[in-house]
Amino acid sequence: MVFLDLQIRTAAGPVNVHNVKCYVLEEGDDQFMLGRDVLEALGINVKSALKHLANTSIELNRDDLPNEPKVGDLIDEKVNVELKWMCDEITVQTSDETQRDFNAKLLDIHNSCKRLWRTKVGPDEPALV
């Protein structure tokens, strides 16, 4: 943690903030976050700004959003692919008897806990954890 003097360039012009507590991150980003205390010192009420934003409708470019989330058979198929990979991998590492026992137990767990496995989040039933 360090204390810095910052100059923030805004649409209204530069704003100087002195002796601001900052945490140095290892990321090479040119962006930073300001805490609530600094924003309030600048006259920005975070709660009212978020409340105003929540009551505003913003038109988004939705071209990249799918019409429906991918759930159902697609997810089951992906889980089945991963299970097959696990079974194939255990075959390489163990004896035939151990492999058969593992495959049987794994498939038994999978079939009894189908609602536990997820590869995507969507509007299907919640996972039972």
Task: Please give the pLDDT value at position 41.
Answer: 83
Q: Is residue 105 part of a domain?
A: yes
Is the per-residue pLDDT at 119 higher than 70? no
Q: Beta strands 13-22 and 2-10: pairing type?
A: antiparallel
Length of the chain in terms of residues written: 129
Model confidence pLDDT, tens digit, residues 99-117: 778 778 877 877 777 666 6
| Residues 91, 49 within the same domain | no
Domain that holds residue 109: 73-116
Q: What's the total number of domains in the chain?
A: 2
| Residues 77, 50 within the same domain | no
Task: Please give the pLDDT value at position 98.
Answer: 74
Domain boundary among 26, 54, 82: 54
Q: Is residue 68 part of a domain?
A: no
Q: Is residue 62 part of a domain?
A: no
| Residues 50, 78 within the same domain | no
| Residues 86, 49 within the same domain | no
Model confidence pLDDT, tens digit, residues 46-92: 888 888 877 776 666 666 666 666 555 556 677 778 777 877 777 66
Q: pTM to 2 decimals?
A: 0.37
